[in-house]
Every structure is written in C-alpha cells, then in structure tokens.
Amino acid sequence: MSAADRLMRGIGVSPGIAMGPTMTVRWALPEVPHRVVPRKQVEKEVRRLRAALKDVKKQLGEFRARAVERAGVDEARIFDAQVLMLEDREFINGIEELIRENHLTAEKAFEFKTLEVRDLWSAAGNPLLKERLADLTGVAIRVIHHLMHRRGAADVWESLSEPSILVARELSPGLTVQLDRDQVVGLISEEGTRTSHAAILAHSIGIPAIFGLRGAVARIKSGTKVILDGTRGTVLVDPTPDEVAEAERTDTRRRELSVRLEEAVTQPANTVDGVHIALRGNVDLPNELEDAKAHGAEGVGLLRTEFLITGHSELPDEETQTTYFRHVGETFPGYPVVVRTYDLGGDKFPAPFRTPVEPNPFLGWRAIRVCLDEPEMFRTQIRAVLRAAVTGNLQLMIPLVTRLDEIERTREMMHEEAARLEKQGIAAAKSVPLGAMVETPAAAVLADRLAEISDFLSVGTNDLTQYTLVVDRANARLADRFTPHDPSVLRLLKLVAEASRAANKPASVCGEMASEPLSAFLLLGLGYETLSVAPPALPLIKWLIRQVTMAQARAAADAALAARSAALALDILRFALTEAVDETLLDPDARLPAGRRSGSLKL
C-alpha cells in the first residue's frame, strides 16, 4: 500500500509528532437496560440520582484542580460549564420527573433526558451548542457509569504496556485532563475542531492531537502503529523505517526552529530588504497581555471585549471598562491598542440578553447591529474608550460592517459622548481613530467607500472566509473546504489592500490567517504591512518576516492570485517560500504554530 493510501488527514489542534501503537477508546453513552421500579422505590431512585450528581460534581472539581496545575486557570474553567449542567434545575427536575412519573431507574431517566437535550442542541444549528455536546456527553457518561457502578474509559491507560496514541469517536475535556503524559503520547478524534474544549486542553498540556478525522475508529484498529503529526494534521498508518526516520528528522528540525524563534523575539520585524512590518497581538483575555508583550507585540491589533459580558449576570459599567482599557493602553505605551466593540450574537449571547433563538444566528442580530440597537450599552463602551485614550493610544474598531451608515452612526455617537464628557468635566479624548472590520464580502466590495469614511481597515479572515465560501468553520465535515487561500477570498483580500492604499489609510489583517507562516508570507505580498496574530505565533511570524524580501512576497502573491484553486495557490506559496527560507527548518506544510508549548516525539 502506498504512503498516500496510508495517509489520513484531519484538523491539527495541538502541534507535535507522536509515534506508537494506537488504543481505541469507546467513550460513549453505555447501553442502559430499560427497567421500571416499584412505586415504593421511586424516591430511592431520586436519592440515588442526587448522590451520583454530588459525587460526579466532586470528581469534576478534582479534574478542574488538575487542569489548573497542568494547563492553566483559564483552561480549567472549561469544567465550570460541566458543573453548571449538573446544577441546571430544569435539566435535573426533568430527570426526577421521569423517575417519578414513569418509574424509571435513575440511570435510564438520565440517559433519556440527555438524548432529548442532545437532539435539541444538534438541531439548533448553533455552533456553540454543538461544541457543548461533548461536555454534555462527557457528563452523562460519568453519571451513568456511576449509577451503574462501572469503571469509565478514563481508566484505559492503566492497561497500556507502552506509550500509545488514543483513538476515539469523541474526547471529553475530563478524559483529556486525566491523561498520563508518559503513557498517552497522542490523541485522534473523529469529532471536534480547534475550538473544542478537549482540543484546547490537549494544546495547553502539550499532547499532539488531531480532531475531525472522520472514520478514524473504523480505519485504525487498536494496536496499529502510526505517526501522528499534530502540526500538519496527518496520521500515517503502518509507517516504514524510512518514514519513521523522516518523522524524527522533522521533529529535530522543528526543535531547531524553536530555538531560532526565541532569538527572534527581541529583533525588529524587518524584511531582508528593510521594510518594517508592524506585528501586533490578538488579545481575548487580560492574562494574554503579558504573553503578547513578552513575545514582542507592537501593541494590540484586536482587543476582544466580549469577556466583559459573557459569564456575567449584568452589563459592565463604565468604570470597569475604562479601568481595563486604560490598563491595556499602559501595558503597550506608545503602541496602538485596537478595541473591537462588542461582537455579540451568533454563538456569543451573554446572560444579560434574553433573545429568541434565531434560525441562523450568524446571519442574524449580532455585532454592530446589536450595538446600534442597544445604544445605552454601546455609548457606555464608547465613553470608556474615550476616557482611557487620555493615557493610551486607543483606537475603536467595528465588527461585521456591511453598510456605510454603521460607521457614520458610530462616529456620530463618539462625538456626542466626547462632548458630554467634556461638559461633565471628565478627562477624555475628543475622538479616537475609528476603523471598520472587513469580515463579509459586502464590506470587501465596499472597501473603497469604507476607506473614505474610516480611519483604518482591518480584515477578519475567519469570518470573511466563512461568509464568502458559505462554509461553517466549526463543521468538521467541511474542514477541507474552509480555506482562506480560495481564489475568491484572495481576490477580496487584494481588493481591500488596494482600496486602503488608494485612500492612504492603513490596512491590517487580524484573523487566524495572519498567524500562519504561508498565509503571512502571502499577506505581505498582497500589500498588508500590519499583521495582528495570536501571541504564541508572534516569534514564528517575526522570524519568517526576517527571512524574506517584499519582492519575493509580491511575486508569490501575484502567482497565487492567478491560481485556479486553493490547492494550487498553496503549492505556489510553498514553492516560493522554500526558495526564500531554509526548508530544513521551516515546515511549509505546517498549519498550526507550535506556540509556547508543543508536543514532543515519544517513541
């Protein structure tokens, strides 16, 4: 069988190479026998249920503590969602009602209710609910196993005789955080994407992992030797000695590159021909500020603000927001901090908003539409930015712009709030630069008009790709279709860059595309001289910039723009980049930057 026939592709969610035999894990709801109990035993079943919930909550608390130790405080919050499921009164009352009215055993009632909720969430079409399905399944498996006095699949590695790679249909965060790193050296899952909770934990712990690999359980039998490359998103079955040796060399090259990346942090992001590229950081949470600064970010190109609302029962006040924005500005003195206004809706509606479920939330009431329809909330955020701009170089950016009046109405509100602050005697800037986030084909086609009325443009490539190609980026089945290198997306990127240059306005890219080496090389050639990337990827992108000339990047971009397909565009970019960069160091097929923590080769 050829190497091509033995090669399987999924989504690389945690980088690194792992080799070894596989072990299949059947992490699924167990078969629960249908059994009814006498009326006099019903309350005993309710007590059994409550005792099981209490014990599993304690177990989840232990997982959380272990996650704090192994992955960090923020990653450990993943388990809070599972605990909340066990505390959801509507969910638990529904189970108790099934026991009392239908005389079901506790385990059968729990299974019945879980399947009901799972079907409801699956049909909702909400990506956030789809991501939470793994959490729901994981919680249900633990409760049902407890009620049936069974050992869980989490104990599987106790029987492992050598370091192995787990293969499962779906992996839960609880299973992932328990892994013995010496015994489990890699993970393969049929379900899940880069944003799955189990994927986030695997990346933080440093276990190479591939998710979204359809048919893995059926195609990879337990005990099969494989090479898992979490950076490329590939699994090679039954490798030859030569293929094992090549994997070892690849791992060595990547380690050599990581040393060079550490050296690049303190060096300027200048191309070989002397063009400076402004590298900024994308920041989701306050604790990422220090990472961005430590990795040499020249400010913040995308400061997400949703964390101020999500998980809270009420909206943040002006003082809270002002204090945070001021802190970010003072963390990067002299550098710009681009504050994205609330990008609510879609999969990110917080507790303060009680809105009807929309049939297609990503085409519905979200982002700037919500802000303009909720002016009191929006004006509070604008005031906070104006006040924080007294001590920092703050800018304001509007997400999901599709109409010119969205910029104009926001600017009008800014001037009104600045005048109001001045009248109140509160120190504040009279205005801050106002930019549009280009995330839709509508905004890209209107880029010349947007550039006229905005102070800058910034491209969000994740949503731009999703909306242009009509592909749900969280759908593992469509993972091969979600590519920002599609000719249609490349043309839109070029259109935005040219419109900004014609209007003499700065343009940047702040989507995931800017964090990938091949894509960053392409973006330079398309005319973008400001990139905002995930903090762990900053050293890699800076090192890459220092290896190439703008002439090389432009030639590669021009050739890629003429390609008929994404695959051909990628081949062109790989060829051009390996001529500019030492190909023994750079892995041109890599799609996932290793970041601060990467998996290691385990034999």
Listing DSSP states for 469-504 in one string gives HT--TT-GGGGGG--TTSHHHHHHHHHHHHHHHHTT
Residue 594 has pLDDT above 50, yes or no: no
Higher pLDDT, 316 or 43: 43
Which one is catalytic: 145, 146, 295, 510? 510
Residue 243 has pLDDT above 60, yes or no: yes
Cβ pair 186, 166 in contact under 8 A: yes
In the chain, the percentage of residues whose pLDDT exceeds 90 is 53
Range from 173-187, 267-281, 584-598 that averages highest in pLDDT: 267-281
Mean pLDDT of the 462-469 span: 91
User: Rounded mean pLDDT of the chain?
Assistant: 85
Residue 588 has pLDDT above 50, yes or no: no
Which of the four pLDDT bands, split at 50, 70 and 90, describes residue 580?
Answer: confident
Residue 269 has pLDDT above 50, yes or no: yes
Residues 6+ apart with CB under 8 A from 466: 362, 472, 473, 482
At residue 351, the pLDDT reads: 52
At residue 598, the pLDDT reads: 33
At residue 365, the pLDDT reads: 76
Range from 309-318, 455-464, 534-543 that averages highest in pLDDT: 455-464
Residue 144 has pLDDT above 80, yes or no: yes
Residue 589 has pLDDT above 70, yes or no: no
Which of the four pLDDT bands, split at 50, 70 and 90, describes residue 314?
Answer: confident
Residue 531 pairs in a beta bridge with: 279, 509
Higher pLDDT, 241 or 161: 241
17-40 pLDDT per residue, tens = 999 999 988 767 788 988 899 999
Mean pLDDT of the 461-470 span: 90
Residue 225 has pLDDT above 80, yes or no: yes
- Distance (Å, whole) CA 289 – CA 581: 30
395-451 pLDDT per residue, tens = 999 999 999 999 999 999 999 999 999 999 999 999 999 999 999 999 999 999 999
- Distance (Å, whole) CA 514 – CA 318: 32
Residue 348 has pLDDT above 60, yes or no: no
Higher pLDDT, 262 or 39: 39
Q: What is the pTM of this model?
A: 0.67
177-201 pLDDT per residue, tens = 667 777 889 999 998 877 677 787 7
Residue 359 has pLDDT above 50, yes or no: yes
- H or E stretch including 582? none
Q: Which of 112-121, 319-328, 352-361 shows the lowest mean pLDDT across its residues?
A: 352-361
The tokens for 257 are 């590159």
At residue 602, the pLDDT reads: 29
At residue 316, the pLDDT reads: 83
- Distance (Å, whole) CA 215 – CA 393: 51
Residues 6+ apart with CB under 8 A from 540: 257, 261, 517, 593, 594
Q: What is the rounded (10 degree) CA torsion for 347, 351, 355, 357?
A: 40
Range from 309-318, 523-532, 533-542, 592-601 that averages highest in pLDDT: 523-532
Mean pLDDT of the 207-228 span: 93
Residue 305 has pLDDT above 90, yes or no: no
Mean pLDDT of the 217-240 span: 93
Coil, strand or helix: which one is 237? strand
Which of the four pLDDT bands, split at 50, 70 and 90, describes residue 592?
Answer: very low
Residue 599 has pLDDT above 70, yes or no: no
Enumerate domains of the chain plus CATH numbers.
3-28+154-256 (3.50.30.10), 39-147 (1.10.274.10), 265-580 (3.20.20.60)
Q: φ and ψ at 446, to 5 degrees?
A: -90, 10
User: In which order are the strands placed within the sheet that holds 225-229?
Assistant: 7-9, 234-237, 225-229, 17-25, 164-168, 184-189, 209-211, 11-14
At residue 171, the pLDDT reads: 81
517-570 pLDDT per residue, tens = 899 999 999 999 999 998 888 998 999 999 999 999 999 999 999 999 999 999
Assess whether 371 carries a catalytic annotation. Answer: no
The tokens for 309 are 């609302």
Cβ pair 92, 85 in contact under 8 A: no
Higher pLDDT, 202 or 223: 223
Which one is catalytic: 145, 146, 197, 203? 197
